[in-house]
Chains A and B, each alone.
Chain A
Amino acid sequence: MSITSDGIVNGLPCIRNGQVVPIQDVPILAIAEFREAVISSVEAGARINALFAKPSQNNLFRIVAVLANDSMGTLSILFSEKIGDAYQSLTPECPQAHGFEREIAEQSRIIPQGHPWLKPIRFASTNGLEHPTKNPPIEQRALPGMTDYFQVQGEEVHEVGVGPVHAGIIEPGHFRFQCHGEHVFHLEISLGYQHRGIERALVGGPGKRTIHFMETLAGDTTIGHTTAYCEIVESLTECKVGVRAQILRSLALELERLANHVGDLGALASDVGFLPTASYCGRIRGDFLNMTAVLCGSRFGRSFMRPGGVQFDLEPRHITDLSNRLSKALHDAKTAIDLLWDSSSVMARFESTGTVTRTVCEDLGLVGLPARATGLPRDVRHAFPSGSYRFFHIPLCTWDTGDVFARAYVRWLEIQHSVQFVQELLKALPAGPVGTAVEVDSLAPNAIVVSLVEGWRGEICHVAITDPQGKFERYKIVDPSFHNWMGLALALRGQQISDFPLCNKSFNLSYCGHDL
């Protein structure tokens, strides 16, 4: 890795999380150089945050790459030259581009030549292709799940298809297993049932509906996605958010993390039939959701975040109330969750199940919890802090076995640290306004901005490109699930098919966050 004094990493200019860059300052590379730059940066330790096509004139597109360098805390943005209908795929040399390139093919009708797995990813359009601004007629769209699945041939090899309708109350997704008895050779995950065309709907925004799209991108990550969106708008309007509002935002983000982590640990316990933890965690999850309701009246954080700050202030009596509730909930959670680690029958199920190695994790560019569970220090709150995370630090939690246990245990570590962090924030809450007016109609024109937020699943990446009128020309959303679904598919290789629900729950990825 080469670093020069003017902030050049691997020969690319660097920016910070939330920094606005005028479009004309973004380096434009010929497609071969673009390809080379992305591949060599990734080889040097960078990650692909986002890779997408941005429409240009005459049905031509530019490929946009956003690369993150975790150790430096810097981001790089690259544009390719205008391309028409094909380019040479990055995926063979850089597997983490795999999902993004399928998305590019589907959204923009550009074929990544040599892509080893070029199938529809969301089944959103004609021939598996979707134009970012045009909605194909519904009868011409590909049907979700109708594709050529990878097949294993041989005597006694059989296929098990699960979904898209599942037995539990979860979202739709199709899972195709190639099995030999109970042994899984390969799992293929086919999503797209939840595709709502959000990215397309955001073009020309922001408008009145934009914030509501953000709140429902992934219903359990409302705070995470709205934080990313608000930071984008605030950067583009040069709005300074008050410290009190920033702290309240972090509070809400951590409460969201706490509720989901506790719920997941309960669900993991219930998947192995371990009753006590399952039931108590279900209740304690509700306790954390109710704390979010204290903040804003909604258990899932709806209507809390708005560009410029937050819509609801915390009264002094609520601060004491929250602090007491937190201590009590943590105490209850500790009692319930310690039972997991103390029960040999539970540990026998968790340990060495669904292992993702560190190498696989690096190759696929996994983010968030599954990455930290392999020992990789990937946490936006550390590497790319924004808001109050720049002033208050939260310890980074990792474990290095990469199995179901690691993903469960990292959750428990994060629960403890988050509670401590929130207590600290509650003590430090300064006086001040919680919101400032933002003119969402006057965004900086011809600019690009990247916002990263560590949601409870992992890194949420929003990229906005504005047109000359200061409207969104392209708004790219990358939910952590988009990176991580492939991690789940690989975690299942060589496992027992009966362990799939357990592995799935240990990742607990979002279907609608992926499908958008």
Chain B
Amino acid sequence: MSIWLLVHPTLAFLAAPLLPGIINRTKAYFAGRDGQPLLQTYFDLAKLFRKGAVYSRTTTWLFRAGPILSLGAALMAVVLMPLGELPTVWSFQGDFILLVYLLAVGRFFTVMAALDTGSSFEGMGASREMQFSMLAEPVLLVGLAALARGTGCLTLSDIAANISWQAWSQYGEGLILIVVALMAVFLVENARIPIDDPNTHLELTMIHEVMVLDHGGPDLAYILYGSALKLWTLSVLLVNIMIPIHTDLLLLNVVVSLLGVLCWAVVVGVIESTMARLALIRIPQFLVGAGALSVLALILIKK
């Protein structure tokens, strides 16, 4: 077992909270502000872990289990995801399907915890989350299937290793469609503008944020850390496709991919700064559009 196996999980666990910081600083730049420190998410996590949590008497074990199980799912997703050529600790045929389901499991427990509170707001958020993820899940699955078809591989590691500049020249049009579709999934899964606004204080417009309103202290820290990890995992997936660097120097590959992830966070910040949110009623159309792209990619791509 090579030491390289542990590089990506370690990097992800340490560096994931940096991504929200980069996005927020980019947004602050567009707004003409200095913005919060880059490391704010780390500070928040440190603060939350020192706090106690308050639990409503109407909630059950589900409410307490939700954040931990969601974090567990996000941790497993990180372990499954290769960074460029770095192999993963754990890989098997068809593991990309597990990735989709890990995201679904995390969401399921967040939603259950939200419903457990009995609050009408949280129920509303849960209903929205399920409606939109129902449409986003097939986009991700079909997009990954198209990648598998293109590369002829059934593990995420092999897929990442086999997407190369050569692949881009052979079926680049299909890859572009997949990238666009996965970007849409990225925005939905991570509750970013134009789908959701992570900074809003308006419960009635929230999707993801409203489901975690009742969590506090360490539970909220698990949620924040879990969403940073999810942000990282899906960013790495996109970077693996967009920047398929396969030089002989493994270290160079890793550094370029990492820089790619950080740049992607800047791009997300730019998207958030230049767009207003979609009306909720338009989000299904947005996702169905993304779904059409990934299905088209699946048809177009041939090995």
Binding site for B on A (CB under 8 A): 158-162, 167-168, 181-182, 269, 271-276, 278-280, 283, 343, 345-346, 348-349, 353, 496-501
Choose among B199, B200, B203, B280 the residue that contacts A496 (Cβ–Cβ < 8 A): B280
The verdict on B189 contacting chain A, using a C-beta distance below 8 Å, is no
Contact: B194 with A345, CB < 8 Å? Answer: yes
- Tell me the nearest residue of chain A to B210, going by C-beta: A167
Q: How far is the CB of A122 from chain B (nearest CB, A)?
A: 25
**Apart from A275-B27, A345-B278, A348-B278, 14 more pairs, CB < 8 Å:** A159-B120, A168-B201, A271-B200, A273-B193, A273-B272, A273-B275, A274-B276, A276-B30, A279-B31, A283-B32, A345-B275, A348-B276, A349-B276, A497-B124
- Tell me the nearest residue of chain A to B33, going by C-beta: A279
Binding site for A on B (CB under 8 A): 27, 30-33, 120-121, 124, 127-128, 193-194, 197, 199-205, 272-282
Choose among B197, B276, B279 the residue that contacts A499 (Cβ–Cβ < 8 A): B279
Q: Tell me the number of A-to-B contacts counted with CB atoms below 8 Å.
A: 85
- Tell me the nearest residue of chain A to B31, going by C-beta: A279
Contact: A275 with B277, CB < 8 Å? Answer: no
Contact: A348 with B202, CB < 8 Å? Answer: no
Contact: A498 with B205, CB < 8 Å? Answer: yes
Which residues from chain B contact A160 at a C-beta distance below 8 Å?
120-121, 124, 204
- Tell me the nearest residue of chain B to A339, going by C-beta: B274
Q: How far is the CB of B129 from chain A (nearest CB, A)?
A: 13
Contact: B120 with A158, CB < 8 Å? Answer: yes
Instruction: Give the complex CA separation of A160 and B119 in angstroms.
Output: 10
Q: How far is the CB of B115 from chain A (nearest CB, A)?
A: 14
Contact: A273 with B204, CB < 8 Å? Answer: no
Which residues from chain B contact A181 at a C-beta distance below 8 Å?
127
Q: How far is the CB of B162 from chain A (nearest CB, A)?
A: 37
Which residues from chain A contact B202 at a C-beta distance below 8 Å?
167-168, 271, 501
Contact: B275 with A274, CB < 8 Å? Answer: yes
Instruction: Give the complex CA separation of A346 and B32 in angstroms.
Output: 19
- Tell me the nearest residue of chain A to B197, going by C-beta: A273
Contact: A279 with B276, CB < 8 Å? Answer: no
Instruction: Give the complex CA separation of A499 and B280 in angstroms.
Output: 9
- Tell me the nearest residue of chain A to B123, going by C-beta: A158
- Tell me the nearest residue of chain B to A169, going by C-beta: B201
Instruction: Give the complex CA separation of A278 and B32 in angstroms.
Output: 11
Known: A158-B120, A162-B203, A167-B202. A272 touches B277 (CB 8 A): yes
Which residues from chain B contact A168 at a C-beta distance below 8 Å?
201-202
Contact: A500 with B204, CB < 8 Å? Answer: yes
Which residues from chain B contact A348 at a C-beta distance below 8 Å?
276, 278-279, 282
Known: A167-B201, A274-B275, A275-B273. A182 touches B280 (CB 8 A): yes
Instruction: Give the complex CA separation of A198 and B32 in angstroms.
Output: 42
Q: How far is the CB of A373 from chain B (nearest CB, A)?
A: 20
Known: A167-B202, A168-B202. A273 touches B30 (CB 8 A): no
Which residues from chain A contact B201 at a C-beta distance below 8 Å?
167-168
Contact: A275 with B204, CB < 8 Å? Answer: no
Choose among B31, B194, B197 the residue that contacts A276 (Cβ–Cβ < 8 A): B31
Q: How far is the CB of A157 from chain B (nearest CB, A)?
A: 13
Choose among B27, B200, B204, B279 the residue that contacts A349 (Cβ–Cβ < 8 A): B279
Which residues from chain B contact A346 at a C-beta distance below 8 Å?
276
Contact: A182 with B194, CB < 8 Å? Answer: no
Instruction: Give the complex CA separation of A498 and B128 in angstroms.
Output: 11
**6 CB-based A-B contacts, threshold 8 Å:** A158-B120, A160-B120, A160-B124, A167-B201, A276-B31, A276-B32
Q: Most A CB atoms within 10 A — which of B27, B194, B272, B275?
A: B275
Q: How far is the CB of A184 from chain B (nearest CB, A)?
A: 10
Which residues from chain A contact B200 at a C-beta distance below 8 Å?
271, 273
- Tell me the nearest residue of chain A to B277, going by C-beta: A273
Choose among A161, A343, A496 the residue that contacts B276 (Cβ–Cβ < 8 A): A343
- Tell me the nearest residue of chain B to A179, going by C-beta: B124
Instruction: Give the complex CA separation of A161 and B123 in angstroms.
Output: 13
Instruction: Give the complex CA separation of A283 and B124 in angstroms.
Output: 34
Contact: A275 with B120, CB < 8 Å? Answer: no
Choose among A279, A280, A283, A501 the residue that contacts B205 (Cβ–Cβ < 8 A): A501
Instruction: Give the complex CA separation of A182 and B280 in angstroms.
Output: 9
Which residues from chain B contact A275 at a C-beta distance below 8 Å?
27, 30-31, 272-273
Which residues from chain B contact A349 at a C-beta distance below 8 Å?
276-279
Q: Most B CB atoms within 10 A — which of A349, A497, A498?
A: A498
Q: How far is the CB of A311 from chain B (nearest CB, A)?
A: 36
Contact: B205 with A345, CB < 8 Å? Answer: no
Please give me the 7 A-B residue pairs with the lowest Cβ-Cβ distance, nearest first. A279-B31, A273-B277, A272-B276, A274-B276, A273-B197, A345-B276, A501-B202
Which residues from chain B contact A269 at a C-beta distance below 8 Å?
276
Instruction: Give the complex CA separation of A379 and B281 in angstroms.
Output: 36
- Tell me the nearest residue of chain B to A350, going by C-beta: B276
Instruction: Give the complex CA separation of A167 and B277 in angstroms.
Output: 19
Q: How far is the CB of B188 from chain A (nearest CB, A)?
A: 15
- Tell me the nearest residue of chain A to B120, going by C-beta: A160
Instruction: Give the complex CA separation of A217 and B277 in angstroms.
Output: 35
Which residues from chain B contact A343 at a C-beta distance below 8 Å?
274-276
Instruction: Give the complex CA separation of A168 and B281 in angstroms.
Output: 24
Q: How far is the CB of A284 from chain B (nearest CB, A)?
A: 11
Choose among B32, B193, B274, B280 the residue that contacts A279 (Cβ–Cβ < 8 A): B32
Q: How far is the CB of B282 from chain A (nearest CB, A)?
A: 7
Q: How far is the CB of A81 from chain B (nearest CB, A)?
A: 48
Which residues from chain A contact B30 at a C-beta distance below 8 Å?
275-276
Instruction: Give the complex CA separation of A496 and B197 in angstroms.
Output: 17
- Tell me the nearest residue of chain A to B194, going by C-beta: A345
Instruction: Give the complex CA separation of A279 and B34 in angstroms.
Output: 12
Instruction: Give the complex CA separation of A500 and B33 in angstroms.
Output: 28
Instruction: Give the complex CA separation of A280 and B33 in angstroms.
Output: 9
Q: How far is the CB of A170 from chain B (nearest CB, A)?
A: 10
Choose among B33, B193, B199, B204 the residue that contacts A498 (Cβ–Cβ < 8 A): B204
Instruction: Give the complex CA separation of A161 and B203 in angstroms.
Output: 11
Instruction: Give the complex CA separation of A161 and B277 in angstroms.
Output: 24
Which residues from chain A contact B120 at a C-beta distance below 8 Å?
158-161
Which residues from chain A contact B278 at a C-beta distance below 8 Å?
345, 348-349
- Tell me the nearest residue of chain A to B273, going by C-beta: A275
Known: A168-B201, A273-B200. A498 touches B32 (CB 8 A): no
Which residues from chain B contact A272 at a C-beta distance below 8 Å?
276-277
Instruction: Give the complex CA separation of A510 and B194 in angstroms.
Output: 30
- Tell me the nearest residue of chain A to B193, going by C-beta: A273
Instruction: Give the complex CA separation of A501 and B204 in angstroms.
Output: 7
Which residues from chain A contact B197 at a C-beta distance below 8 Å?
273
Known: A158-B120, A168-B201. A273 touches B276 (CB 8 A): yes
- Tell me the nearest residue of chain B to A183, going by C-beta: B281
Instruction: Give the complex CA separation of A409 and B210 in angstroms.
Output: 31
Known: A343-B276, A348-B282. A273 touches B194 (CB 8 A): yes
Q: How far is the CB of A285 from chain B (nearest CB, A)?
A: 14
Instruction: Give the complex CA separation of A343 and B274 in angstroms.
Output: 8
Instruction: Give the complex CA separation of A278 and B193 in angstroms.
Output: 15
Instruction: Give the complex CA separation of A157 and B275 in angstroms.
Output: 33
Q: Most B CB atoms within 10 A — which of A271, A275, A283?
A: A275
Instruction: Give the complex CA separation of A498 and B277 in angstroms.
Output: 11
Q: How far is the CB of B187 from chain A (nearest CB, A)?
A: 12
